[in-house]
């Protein structure tokens, strides 16, 4: 649903949304490097 809303208001489909907690430093680093 959020993806549809962002597309409706003009955000690029290249936008990536991930939820990462403060204790997931390795996951955050992986997501940043992949993007």
Contact 28, 20 (CB under 8 A): yes
For 1-35, b/e burial (b = at least 16 CB within 10 A) is eeeeeeeeeeeeeeeeeeeeeeeeeeeeeeeeeee
pLDDT for position 20: 96
Task: Look at 1 and 25; give whichever has higher pLDDT.
Answer: 25
Where do we find the tokens 């996951």? 27
pLDDT for position 14: 74
pLDDT for position 31: 92
pTM, to two decimals: 0.54
pLDDT tens, residue by residue, 2-34: 878 888 888 777 777 889 999 999 999 999 998
Q: Where are the domains of the chain?
A: 2-34
pLDDT for position 21: 96
């Amino acid at each position: 649903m959020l993806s549809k809303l962002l597309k409706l208001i003009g955000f690029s489909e290249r936008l990536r949304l991930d939820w990462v907690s403060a204790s997931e430093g390795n996951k955050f680093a992986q997501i940043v490097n992949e993007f």
